[in-house]
Amino acid sequence: MNLKLKKGDEIRIISPSASIERVGGFEENLIAKKRLDNLGFRVTFGKHILENDEFYSSSVSSRVSDFHDAFSDKNVKAIMTTIGGFNSNELLTHIDWDIVRSNPKMFFGYSDATSLHNAIRAVAHQITYYGPCYSSFKMDELQEYQTTEWLRAALNDSFDLEPSDVWTSDLWFDKFLPRHPLTNKWKVYTLGEATGISTGGNIQTYCLQAGTRFFPETQNPIVFIEQAEGGSPLEFSRELAQILQIHNDIKALVIGRFPTVNAMTDEKLQSVLDKFPILKKIPVIYDLDFGHTQPIFTVPLGQSIKVSATNSDNIKVSLQENYKI
């Protein structure tokens, strides 16, 4: 089932990992609520949204309670995480998955929310949406692109992902820091064309569920991966090797832009990709607008996608209506 939003729908904000204090607190993020409200949606919050502990999170019971409430509430049509973090995987064995299966919703978030994307797809067989979280909507610069691309995914079954004109690798949640815009260009490692089912997320998180019932089995996958701040090229190489061992029937690889602090150059990335012969046989594109730089698009996970890279200036990623989990 592929659900879509319409104007007037309720979006519930929950913090299954880091708390809202991690990104400035409730009041500082109200501009995000205003922006979503102005798009025609109704934003509500989990009962425990204000909780914050020594780990910039809250108790497992509080986070699970808000997760259950969001899926159980018939008025809620979409669920959006506040931000990422490090510990949403703590919730998986405590969630009543019958609630999720019986109450399908659109689920939005990125980074550590990858664990929940995996589990919702694996256990409840629902398409999820890898893209901006609630606090992302408080960013002023480049918000027009991010909002446009989020709406494209939230409202449509089929659409093309589009590149932004510029990007930054600044801490978007700190409005007092200067921005350093860079020219944006999607790039090709291996030319080609392929169709498959989208899967992936944050590469440091994606394989945490491997070997458990919370990891989605995806045949003929188009794998989307991106690395968070603090990752290294060598770490990326190690984790990519694991992904390619899991997905030995991979049809295409789509890599998000690397934060500048990670020091991943084109030369280093090519050296990493050169290690894996399969990546010479399938389309591989990189520096796309998703992950831990700004702005980002929203990509459904579990949906049919076509990747086409006929030359370095003709890269197209299309979401198709003949989706399936």
- The residues assigned a catalytic role are 111, 226, 292
Q: Are 231 and 205 in contact (CB under 8 A)?
A: no
The rounded distance, in Å, linking the Cα atoms of 278 and 284 is 10
- Torsions phi, psi for 230 (to 5 deg): 95, -10
CA distance 192 to 66: 44
Supply the DSSP string of 201-270, one letter for each residue. Answer: EEHHHHGGGTTSTTS---SSEEEEEE--TT--HHHHHHHHHHHHHH-TT--EEEEEPPPGGG---HHHHH
Burial group, residue 268, by CB count within 10 angstroms (0-12, 13-18, 19+): middle
> At residue 77, what is the residue type?
K
The side-by-side arrangement of strands in the sheet containing 192-202 is 159-161, 314-319, 304-311, 192-202, 221-226, 252-256, 284-288, 187-190
Q: How many CB atoms lie within 10 A of CB 289?
A: 26
- Compute CA 279 distance to the chain's CA centroid, rounded to the nearest angstrom: 23
Other Cβ atoms within 10 Å of 21 Cβ, number: 19
Tokens of 257: 């832009």
Q: CA-CA distance, 306 to 3, in Å (whole number)? A: 20
DSSP 50: T
**Burial classification of residue 313, based on how many CB atoms lie within 10 Å of its CB (0-12 exposed, 13-18 middle, 19 or more buried):** exposed
In order of 142, 161, 168, 262, 302, the CA distances from 181 in angstroms are: 10, 21, 5, 17, 32
